[in-house]
Amino acid sequence: MTITDERIAAQNAINAQTNEIEGHLLRILSDWQGLKARKVSGYGGFVQKLQQQLDAYCKDHGYNQPDGDWWLNVSASYTSVLATVRNTKTAMKAEAYLARFNEADGVLTSIGEGWQRRTDYTADGVNAALKEAEQLEEQARQLRSSVREFARP
């Protein structure tokens, strides 16, 4: 399989957008550290004031618009706050870990550190890396086969 220039451009774009969004959301959530950010009764969700901030952020940046290219969903999974960024034109998506909260009381206990996703991929570089990985995997299979008598059952 050969990775195309279009696929590389789409990945670089989603990574750049996610890097930017993650930074903004970490700053928003940093004001909530030590405070109740999640509801623990009913259907859960973010407390009203935080949800309003998140909605305003999406609106101000043009996310989640019916004719827009970018969709942003900030949600909770178990005790983590996550962001999912989607590009409607390329069907690419990326996720970002944002924070951790206490399940019992909804208090935000820690903020993520952020992670800079690469935005400088090239088709030649990715294709070369994939080819090298395939060769190394074949070498590993051959090496394991040469000592199979000693492999654990």
> Beta 108-111 vs 70-77: how paired, if at all?
unpaired
Provide the edge-to-edge strand list for the sheet that holds 93-101.
70-77, 80-87, 93-101, 108-111
Residue 53 amino acid letter? Q
79-104 pLDDT, tens digit per residue, is 999 999 999 999 999 999 999 999 99
List 111's β-bridge partners, or say none: 99
Which run of H or of E encompasses 93? strand 93-101
Distance (Å, whole) CA 35 – CA 19:
25
What DSSP designation does 147 have? T
CB atoms under 10 Å from CB of 38, counted, come to: 21
Q: Residue 43: is its pLDDT beyond 90? A: no
10-27 pLDDT, tens digit per residue, is 999 999 999 999 999 999
3-state class (DSSP) for residue 40? coil
* Total-model pTM: 0.88
Distance (Å, whole) CA 55 – CA 153:
54
Provide the pLDDT confidence category of residue 153 given band limits of 50, 70 and 90. Answer: low
Those residues whose C-beta lies under 8 Å from the C-beta of residue 77, and which sit 6 or more positions away, are none
Q: Residue 51: is its pLDDT beyond 80? A: yes
